[in-house]
Amino acid sequence: MLYFTRWRALGIILTALIVCLFALPNFFPEATVKTWPAWAQRRIVLGLDLQGGSYLLLEVDSNYVKKERLDQIRDDVRRTLRDAKIGFTGGVTVRNDAAEVRITKETDVQPALAKLRELSQPLGGLMGSSGQRDLEVSDAGGGVIRLSIPQAAMLDRMRKTIEQSIQIVERRVNELGTVEPVIQRQGNDRILVQVPGLQDPTRLKELLGKTAKMEFRMVDTSVPPDQAQQGRLPPESELLMSASPPPTPYVVKKQVLVAGGDLTDAQASFDQRTGEPVVSFKFNTSGARKFAQATQENVGLPFAIVLDNKVISAPVIREPITGGQGQISGNFTVQSANDLAILLRAGALPAPLTVVEERTVGPGLGQDSIEKGELAAYVGSILVIVFMLLTYRLFGVFANIAVAINVAMIFGLLSLLNATLTLPGIAGIVLTVGIAVDSNVLIYERIREELRGGRNAISAIDAGFKRALATILDSNITTFIAAAVLFYIGTGPVRGFAVTLGIGIITTVFTAFTLTRLIVAWWVRWKRPQSVPI
Amino acid sequence: MTHTVLIGLGVLIAILTVVAALGLLPSLRIVPDNTHFDFTRFRRISFPISAALSIVAITLFFTHGLNLGIDFKGGTLLEVKAKSGVADIAAMRTTLDALGLGEVQLQQFGGPENVLIRVAEQPGGDAAQQAALQKLRGALGDSVDIQRTEVLGPRVAGELLAYGMLGLMLAIVAILIYLWFRFEWQFALGAMIANVHDIVLTIGFMSISQVDFDLTSIAALLTILGYSLNDTVVIYDRIREMLRRYKKMPMPQLLNESINSTLSRSIITHVTVTLALLALLLFGGHAIHSFTAVMMFGVVLVGTYTSIFIAAPILIYLGVGEHREDAPETATPAKKNKA
């Protein structure tokens, strides 16, 4: 137990040293570290609770996604049956997560089924090999055909929706000019957004809270809005309210001339004549062509610029707009024009997002927590160090050296893993100091026992290590299991605690098995002790 | 100020280190050598006490309940700092009560300028919580700095609670399986009973003290679990060793020897853990206060007691060493040691 070959001793010391050295970047200013090679730049990331910032958990509305899909199915069914000249009664109804249609003539049911089955596509595109389809068409009896969305298709759709949403969220967050935001998918329907340093997420939430579905549509001038409000609404139109107060109704055709997806750029600017803030935009080629055609056909008529089903403005087309660009005015402030430009540039979200969890810490509180955590760490370490010196004297010095290296190694590993340090994480390190000495205590107490048992100094030390190490391994593994579970279930600060606790256990076991043993072995070789001052 | 103190303490440590290294300090023996305290006999007292305390804890849990924090209950929490230096709680209460958000809890902490504002979960799902936050921010206006905001919708809160509980169960089962592999099943079962006992008592403590029960409490519970087991495993390891070495020693005596010979270690380790926790409790700030308080109770008070008075003696009832003949004490380690 006390014999180390030269190579093993060297290996142990080098391992410890290298791990410790990884902690170095944390002690230099960021600018200095930037000039180092990339592998040496890893450092500990401070958690949001220490550096301040915002944490948002957003949820994609799965009901919206389902409803959108069902509406689409309904339109498809209508069109398909009409094209096939198959009569149906009572329209297409959407209920119980499915669309249903009643075929008028009994003999038409089979042809209708065949036609509608063509709507169903294999999942995962043409290459889909799962054999599953995105639509289930069945005969519900009594002339009713049922079209429902299979579970797998719904999951697939949610997955795509989330992926798209993450892209859009990323673009919108980046527009805020924040440093190193983290945007991740979480679970089936959630997106996690972490923005360090953001003190007030109100504007961020406003930006993320809009789907920003932009549409250019014609205003229906056949019915005045007040009559439409009383129910005389043409079937191809709908009633929309204005975006800015007071709420004014507009009758707008459902057909979309050009959609936001055809925009290539949007910028906030000022109107050259009136000086009020406006948003100027550019279409891509296909958008420009569609817009030119639509404006040519409708000179003298008003069209509506609709954002998330609200009318921003409804200008009259004075002349065909063929240049593929234009500007939107609509009672904007500089800020709201800016926000709209950001939203249009970033694109529309496929489904609305809701904030289901929000945590924000101001930078002042974070700094305060760091200071308190540091103070607690210093005081805790000093108390433990003094206690160990008083209890074990020379062996206390050995233990303290081992614990110091242990803590340095924790920081090194945390840096290497780019781990996040949180306030509970600091608590985890302090606790580790308290626990790390436990391995030494186990060894020393065993040595004391062996001495009492009548062994001579060297044999007692040897036996002490041999017997204690098995116990150290067993007892630390149980704590490690707890830390691992905590890491798995925890988020944010709690996960930070699990990380330092877990890493602390690993370094503790490492130092107990190697460093402490090596130090004592050296001492034994140098001193050839007759008695152990323990 | 703090720096001077720290430097001073550093120098003190340096001096102590040199003195210790030269062997000039007297050796401190917290537990005298050759302690032979009859711990096992106390099982007739400790078991009924533990059973009674557990029943009290469970009763408290069902009558008093836990003070669920925002993590598990949902709602809104704001930590604000009055710009004027002194927060006018009464005025704040009047303003916030007028918002019609139900009960608004205000609590001063740290200094006269800091106030913790809690608003219960609003009916109407996730959007309603956000609306409440907006109202609160508006009402507080510019008179305060908002230091911390937490808003949790009802579903996330429910999920966190379910997840936390699941984690706790998972940890217990995982540890049980590990112990089952490393020891005999009786040991695993004994450790598990001790474990559940610790958690039950700690939950009782949380119920009495009404500290916030949130995600960090789950972290505290899991840590308590880990360390209490750490202790138990150390004693079990020794018991196993003794069982192999002294084939004929009667069980109660064997358990006593095991506990006594690891007693010094148990106590020294608990002193160091207590010192570390004490530093966190006193200087770590209010953000981790309840976390460390719960841990202090669980690790220091309950954990040690459990491993000595519950985990070890329960092995007798679980039938460890039943097949052993209660031979006369021919091979006690005390005698052997003297030889």
- In this prediction, residue A111 has a pLDDT band, given cuts at 50, 70 and 90, of confident
Kindly give the residue spans of alpha helices, DSSP state H, lying in A96-243.
Answer: 109-117, 151-175, 202-208, 225-229
User: Which residue in B12, B233, B276 is closest to A431 by CB distance?
Assistant: B276
Nearest to A368 by CA among B284, B135, B17, B226: B284
Q: Where in chain A is the domain with CATH 1.20.1640.10?
A: 6-51+363-527
Contact A478 B130 (CB under 8 A): no
Distance from CA of B91 to the nearest CA of A (A): 24
Task: State the amino acid at position A348 in one-letter form.
Answer: A
**Predicted confidence (pLDDT) per residue in A153-200, tens digit:** 888 889 889 999 999 999 888 888 777 899 999 888 899 999 998 888
Largest CA distance in chain B: 83
User: What is the distance between the alpha carbons of residues B71 and B291, in angstroms, rounded to a whole number?
Assistant: 14
For B262, the closest chain A residue by CA position comes to A445
Contact A362 B146 (CB under 8 A): yes
* pLDDT on residue B337: 42
* pLDDT on residue A474: 86
For A394, the closest chain B residue by CA position comes to B21
Tell me which residues of chain A, numbers 122 to 141, contact chain B at a CB-CB cutoff of 8 Å.
none
- Give A6-51+363-527's CATH code, choosing from 2.60.40.10, 1.20.1640.10, 1.25.40.20, 3.40.50.720: 1.20.1640.10
Burial of A9 (C-beta count, 10 Å sphere; 0-12/13-18/19+): middle
Contact B222 A354 (CB under 8 A): no
* Whether the predicted pLDDT of A282 surpasses 70: yes
Average pLDDT (A54-79) is: 89
Question: Average pLDDT per run of 10 along chain B, which is 339 residues long?
Answer: 76 84 75 82 91 94 91 91 88 89 87 90 88 90 89 89 87 88 90 91 93 87 86 91 89 91 90 91 87 89 86 89 56 42
Contact A386 B27 (CB under 8 A): no
Distance from CA of A474 to the nearest CA of B (A): 7
Contact A383 B30 (CB under 8 A): no
Distance from CA of A524 to the nearest CA of B (A): 14
Q: Note whether A397 contacts B: Cβ–Cβ < 8 A.
A: yes
Q: Note whether A435 contacts B: Cβ–Cβ < 8 A.
A: yes
- In this prediction, residue A202 has a pLDDT band, given cuts at 50, 70 and 90, of confident
Contact B273 A400 (CB under 8 A): no
Contact partners, residue A525, CB within 8 Å, separation at least 6 = none
Contact A356 B164 (CB under 8 A): no
Q: Note whether A243 contacts B: Cβ–Cβ < 8 A.
A: no
**Predicted confidence (pLDDT) per residue in A439-477, tens digit:** 999 999 999 999 988 899 999 999 999 999 988 998 888
Nearest to B303 by CA among B219, B209, B234: B234
Interface test with A, best of B4, B5, B265, B277 (most A CBs within 10 A): B265
Q: Note whether A380 contacts B: Cβ–Cβ < 8 A.
A: yes
Instruction: Compute chain B's Rg from CA coordinates.
Output: 26
Q: Note whether A61 contacts B: Cβ–Cβ < 8 A.
A: no
Instruction: Compute chain A's Rg from CA coordinates.
Output: 35
* pLDDT on residue B334: 44
Task: State the amino acid at position B244 in one-letter form.
Answer: R
Q: Note whether A475 contacts B: Cβ–Cβ < 8 A.
A: yes
Q: The tokens of B106 are what?
A: 């205000």
Q: Give the fold, CATH level 3, of A164-358.
A: Gyrase A; domain 2 (3.30.1360)
For B81, the closest chain A residue by CA position comes to A365
Contact B148 A448 (CB under 8 A): no
User: What is the distance between the alpha carbons of residues A203 and A360, in angstroms, rounded to a whole number?
Assistant: 13
Q: Where in chain A is the domain with CATH 3.30.1360.200?
A: 164-358
Q: Are strands A182-186 and A190-196 parallel, antiparallel or unpaired?
A: antiparallel
User: Which residue in A354, A433, A442 is closest to B234 by CB distance?
Assistant: A442
| Separation of CA B148 from chain center | 26
Question: Considering only CB atoms, which chain B residues are within 8 Å of A356?
Answer: 126, 152-153, 155-156
Question: Considering only CB atoms, which chain A residues are within 8 Å of B218?
Answer: 486, 489-490, 494
Q: Give the number of residues written for chain A.
A: 534
| Whether the Cβ atoms of residue B198 and residue B228 lie closer than 8 Å to each other | yes
Nearest to B291 by CA among A493, A322, A55: A493
User: Which residue in B145, B178, B231 is closest to A362 by CB distance?
Assistant: B145
Nearest to B236 by CA among B190, B296, B293: B190
Q: Note whether A534 contacts B: Cβ–Cβ < 8 A.
A: yes
For tokens 């009464």, name the residue.
Answer: B90
Contact A438 B155 (CB under 8 A): no
Rounded mean pLDDT of chain A? 87
Given CA atoms A297, A303, A308, A313 in this order, what sign does their dihedral have?
A: positive
Q: What Cα–Cα distance (Å) separates residue A384 from each residue in A174, A241, A391, A397?
A: 46, 69, 10, 12
Q: How many helices (H) and strands (E) does chain B have?
A: 13, 6
User: What is the distance between the alpha carbons of residues B265 and B296, in angstroms, rounded to a whole number?
Assistant: 18
Nearest to B91 by CA among B75, B111, B106: B106
Q: Which domains does chain B have, with CATH numbers?
A: 39-67+157-318 (1.20.1640.10), 75-152 (3.30.70.3400)
For B29, the closest chain A residue by CA position comes to A391
Contact A427 B6 (CB under 8 A): no
* pLDDT on residue B57: 94
Nearest to B27 by CA among B263, B333, B264: B264
Average pLDDT (A374-401) is: 90
For tokens 């519900």, name the residue.
Answer: A140
Question: Considering only CB atoms, which chain B residues are within 8 Å of A360?
Answer: 146, 148-150
User: What is the distance between the alpha carbons of residues A284 and A263, in angstroms, rounded to a whole number?
Assistant: 6
For B230, the closest chain A residue by CA position comes to A475
Q: Note whether A476 contacts B: Cβ–Cβ < 8 A.
A: yes
Average pLDDT (A378-402) is: 90
- In this prediction, residue A94 has a pLDDT band, given cuts at 50, 70 and 90, of confident
Q: What are phi and psi of A485, to 5 degrees?
A: -60, -40
Contact A475 B233 (CB under 8 A): yes
- ipTM, interface predicted TM-score of the complex: 0.87
For tokens 């040496």, name the residue.
Answer: A40
What share of chain A has pLDDT > 70, as a percent? 98
User: Which residue in A57, A470, A479 is closest to B227 by CB distance?
Assistant: A479
Contact B241 A362 (CB under 8 A): no
Q: Give the fold, CATH level 3, of A62-156.
A: Gyrase A; domain 2 (3.30.1360)
Contact B6 A372 (CB under 8 A): no
Distance from CA of B94 to the nearest CA of A (A): 25
Task: State the amino acid at position A53 in one-letter form.
Answer: G
Q: What Cα–Cα distance (Å) separates residue A108 from each residue in A84, A136, B28?
A: 10, 19, 98
H or E element in which residue A411 lies:
helix A394-416
Q: The tokens of B311 are what?
A: 């985990």
Question: Considering only CB atoms, which chain A residues are within 8 Å of B230?
Answer: 435, 438, 475-476, 478-479
* Pairs of CB atoms within 8 A across A/B: 272
Question: Considering only CB atoms, which chain A residues are within 8 Å of B137?
Answer: 202
Given CA atoms B278, B279, B282, B284 in this order, what sign does their dihedral have?
A: negative
Contact A377 B279 (CB under 8 A): yes
Kindly give the residue spans of alpha helices, DSSP state H, lying in B210-302.
Answer: 215-245, 251-283, 289-295
Burial of B23 (C-beta count, 10 Å sphere; 0-12/13-18/19+): exposed
Question: Considering only CB atoms, which chain B residues are within 8 Å of A51?
Answer: none
User: Which residue in B146, B222, B292 is closest to A482 by CB distance?
Assistant: B222
Q: Note whether A354 contacts B: Cβ–Cβ < 8 A.
A: yes
Q: What Cα–Cα distance (Å) separates residue B37 from each residue in A270, B32, B55, B250?
A: 88, 11, 29, 16
Q: What Cα–Cα distance (Å) separates residue A392 from each residue in B30, B298, B304?
A: 11, 27, 22
Question: Considering only CB atoms, which chain B residues are within 8 Å of A400?
Answer: 17
Contact A389 B20 (CB under 8 A): yes
| Whether the Cβ atoms of residue A478 and residue B179 lie closer than 8 Å to each other | yes
Contact B234 A471 (CB under 8 A): yes
